[in-house]
Amino acid sequence: MRKHRTILVVDDNEEAAQTLAKLLQLRGNTVSVAFNGLDGVHKAREQHPDIVVLDIGLPDIDGYEVVRILRSESSFVSPIIALTGYGQKEDKERALEAGFNHHLTKPVSLKELERAFKKVSAV
C-alpha cells in the first residue's frame, strides 16, 4: 500500500504541473500546485508539504533560489526533489549543493517519481 503524502508541485508549465498533480492525486496524495518560484515559496511555508517537487527553470526566481530560501528557514525540513529538463552531471551536482534532496530529469515516469519519494522519505 502506498503512503499518502501531501505534495507541492512547482512548475511554470501549467499543463505539466496540473497533469502531474492529477496523477499524484489519483495515487491517493493531496497535491497543491504553484506556477512560479515565489508562489512556491509561499505555499511551501504555508502548507509544510511532505515533499516538494520543484522545477529549476522558473520565470521569476529559479528553483535553486527557491531551495536556498526554504533551506535557510529552520522550520522547513521537507524533502525537495528537482524535476527539471537540466540533466547534465553538473546540473545534478549543482542541485544537490543548492539543497535539493534528489534530482530527476524530465520526462519522468510515475514509477521513478515514487522511487524518489521513497528514497527522500527515508532521509
Q: Which three cell numbers stand for residue 94?
A: 549543482
What is the rounded distance in angstroms from the CA atom of residue 91 to the CA atom of residue 1? 33
Beta strands per DSSP E along 26-109: 30-34, 51-54, 80-84, 102-105
Question: What are the residue ranges spanned by the domains of the chain?
Answer: 6-121
Residue ranges for the chain with pLDDT beneath 50: 1
pLDDT of residue 1: 41
CATH classification (class only), 6-121: alpha beta
C-alpha dist (Å) from residue 56 to 3, 28, 30, 62, 110: 26, 26, 22, 5, 19
**Length of the chain as a residue count:** 123
pLDDT of residue 3: 74
pTM for the model: 0.94
